[in-house]
Amino acid sequence: MTTLEVDGEFDRLEQVIYIENHLSNLDTKHYGELTELLLKHREYPGSNNGTGLFQVMVGLKMRATYERLTHNTPQLAALAMS
């Protein structure tokens, strides 16, 4: 188990790619997506500290869970109707 502790703010959001490189199972669609999302929304509260980093990581997990749960929904609906 690895613990990530963020104390304070990121001086440059571009440095988040270093952290992202050391994390696993983020459920990103491509390398650098976590950093890209933080850079895309610099004005959001917490975007330059651990709060924003955690929010984006949770959002990525929520997206992956939603996609996994809804992936077979059309097939299940068709089976239920037959």
pTM of the model: 0.73
The amino acid that residue 69 corresponds to is L
Q: Write a three-state SS string for 11-76.
A: CCHHHHHHHHHHCCCCCCCCCCHHHHHHHHCCCCCCCCEHHHHHHHHHHHHHHHHHHHHHCCHHHH
Q: What are phi and psi of 9, to 5 degrees?
A: -110, 160
Rounded to an integer, what distance in angstroms lies between the CA atom of residue 76 and that of residue 62?
Answer: 21
pLDDT digits (tens, 9 = 90+) for 1-52: 777 777 777 777 777 888 888 888 889 999 999 988 888 888 888 878 888 8
